[in-house]
Amino acid sequence: MAAVVVPPPPAPRRRTPSTWVRRGGLTTLLFLLPLLLVFGVFSWAPIAQSVVMSFQQTNLVGPVRFVGLDNFAQVLGDPLLWTAVGNTLWFAVLALVFGYPIPLVAAVLISEVRARRGLFSALAYLPVVVPPVVAVLLWKFFYDASPSGVFNTVLGWAGLGPWQWLQNPGSAMPALVLEATWAAAGGTVIIYLAALAGVPAEQYEAAEIDGAGIWRKIWHVTLPRLRGVLLVTFILQIIGTAQVFLEPFLFTGGGPANSTMTVLLLIYDYAFASSLGGDYGAATALSIMLAAVLAVLSALYLRVTKSWSAS
């Protein structure tokens, strides 16, 4: 931000509209106009409106009424909310168990490849560029419950199965997480690879002089150097999994027996699933509550990245 391009002209006695225009104030404002219009109408106004709407009863048709905290009370009293919160947490935990260590291990291994490293990272990243809807619909077919389903065929080779992947309340969520992990891991691998490239070779050399082998170097040099980025991907993953929507929406629609109903799916259902007109108050109240939780995580994220880029 240090680049001051125009040396400030001698300050005039009074700023009049005409001196403002002559010194380019109007041009500057015109350059900012697209941002102000687009953000104003499609970001700032809706954010403000969202807060207001959470205290209102409204559905496009009837008159708008202020109802105080009724929407919040209604949402918090909905037994489905606690199912959805539980499921979302379960999704987050499973996603951490599956999805957190795999990219790290893959990235450390890829960073030590000497020939054709580009091929390795491109292969790891490929699932990320597959459109998510295509990926989910493809995996839905892979999860086919019949003995000749793709995954069940593979299980059959090992004498296992057939499993009811998506139809069983116990296995539906892990199945969703497996697909989500496949779809997202490549992005995390790339982030780790960038961080690994920044570990100074001298630190490894210093560790070797102290007699450290490969495992000790990983433990005492690599992992400490990655601490910051590991925390960042951790928080980003939590923020991401708290907003999981596509997988439960397309794989299971929240079923079987609400076992994959997530918070975002519930918001969608409140607002858009009913043909009678949405309960927009409840939907915004729940999204405000979710946003508050995520804001705490985002603030944490900012603190971490700040101290991390400062060091």
List the interface residues with other proteins, window 211-250 (CB under 8 A).
214, 217-218, 221-222, 229, 232-233, 236, 239, 243, 245-246, 249-250
Binding other proteins (rule: CB under 8 A), the pick from 64, 85, 108, 145 is 108
158 CB-near residues (< 8 Å, 6+ apart): none
The single-letter DSSP state of residue 78 is: -
Q: Which is nearer to other proteins, 83 or 298 (CB)?
A: 298
β-bridge mates for residue 56, sequence order: 66
The single-letter DSSP state of residue 12 is: P
Stretch that binds other proteins, among 62-70, 77-85, 160-168, 180-188 (CB under 8 A): 180-188
Range list of β-strands (E), 33-137: 56-57, 65-66
Least distance (Å) from other proteins to the CB of residue 247? 11
Q: Does 122 bind other proteins (CB under 8 A)?
A: yes
Least distance (Å) from other proteins to the CB of residue 125? 6
Q: Does 191 bind other proteins (CB under 8 A)?
A: yes
| Closest by Cα among 67, 80, 85, 98 to 293 | 85
Least distance (Å) from other proteins to the CB of residue 169? 22
Binding other proteins (rule: CB under 8 A), the pick from 36, 76, 160, 206 is 36
The sign of the torsion formed by the CA atoms of 273, 247, 98, 144 equals positive
Range list of β-strands (E), the chain: 56-57, 65-66
Tokens representing 281 are 């108050």
| Closest by Cα among 284, 296, 226, 255 to 50 | 284
Least distance (Å) from other proteins to the CB of residue 80? 17
Stretch that binds other proteins, among 72-80, 88-96, 158-166, 196-204 (CB under 8 A): 196-204
Binding other proteins (rule: CB under 8 A), the pick from 28, 93, 206, 273 is 28
